[in-house]
Amino acid sequence: MARRVKRRTEKDTEGEPGEFVTIYVMGEAYQVPKGLTIMKAMEYAGYRFIRGCGCRGGFCGACGTVYRTKESYKLKVGLACQTMVEDGMYLTQIPFYPANKKVYNIDELTPDTQELVRHYPEIMRCIACNSCTKICPQDIDVMGYIQAAIRGDIARVADMSFDCIMCGLCASRCPAEIVHYNVALLARRLYGARVAFRAGHLQTRLKEIAEGKFEPGLDRLTRMSEEELSRLYYQERDIEPE
């Protein structure tokens, strides 16, 4: 049917005309419509992102931004794609951080209490200032998981850090030069590969596949006509109850 509904794209979600705020991007003042995210406000102002923009949905950590608001000494942070502009906002992005990452072979590691410290001994320098937790845009208790890492509690680090998007803001504030998110990444990989039990049913299925158990069935299905498949799908396919 011939029908075309005009929908607005991301481009024109630009607040009400007339309502403007002033933001300062790296010191330069711009008038932008109220109600935009920092990212869309910067684009409105004329920035075309090469760096500092990734998923635009709060998952990738590319757009970590540091800002102050009017007459406040306090440094705040947020993801540019998720944080609304405020009048008088003074901001800069931190699109890249020169982080230390250790190289390892996950199969050769031992998931003991010393493994995290062995790779990242600087975690012992944590002075418990809590700057990392305060800056985290994901509201993760970053200092808490670094303390758990010092104790060697891999499972706890893995669980507490799970929502990390590796934006690097924690590392940018750390007086002990810890790269928290890489410590957490190692902990999660250690937990997933070496602490958690492997799925037994998965190994059974792999064995069956290797033995060719499903080949005759798949041979039959791949040769079926659309009509035969449709009949099978609509008439014989049972659905596992909730």
Residues 146-165 that bind other proteins (CB under 8 A): 158, 162-163, 165
When the beta carbons of 124 and 206 are compared against other proteins, the nearer one is: 206
Give least dist CB 127 to other proteins, A: 27
Give least dist CB 128 to other proteins, A: 25
Q: Does 2 bind other proteins (CB under 8 A)?
A: yes
Q: Given the rule CB under 8 A, which of 6-14, 117-125, 126-134, 170-178 is the region that contacts other proteins?
A: 6-14
**In the set 22, 130, 138, 147, which binds other proteins (CB under 8 A)?**
138
Total residues at the site for other proteins (CB under 8 A)? 85
Q: Which of the residues 164 through 203 are near other proteins (CB under 8 A)?
A: 165-166, 185, 188-194, 196-203
Q: Which of the residues 93 through 122 are near other proteins (CB under 8 A)?
A: 101, 103-106
Give least dist CB 31 to other proteins, A: 11
Draw the binding track, 49-88, toward other proteins (x: CB under 8 A; -: no contact).
Answer: xxx-xxxxxxxx-x-------------------x-x----
Q: What is the 3-state secondary structure (H, E, C) of the chain?
A: CCCCCCCCCHHHCCCCCCCEEEEEECCEEEEEECCCEHHHHHHHHCCCCCCCCCCCCCCCCCCEEEEECCCCCCCEEEECCCCECCCCEEEEECCCCCCCCCCCCHHHCCCCCCHHHHHCHHHHHCCCCCHHHHHCCCCCCHHHHHHHHHHCCHHHHHHHCCCCCCCCHHHHHCCCCCCHHHHHHHHHHHHHHHHCCCCHHHHHHHHHHHCCCCHHHHHHHHHCCHHHHHHHHHHHCCCCCC
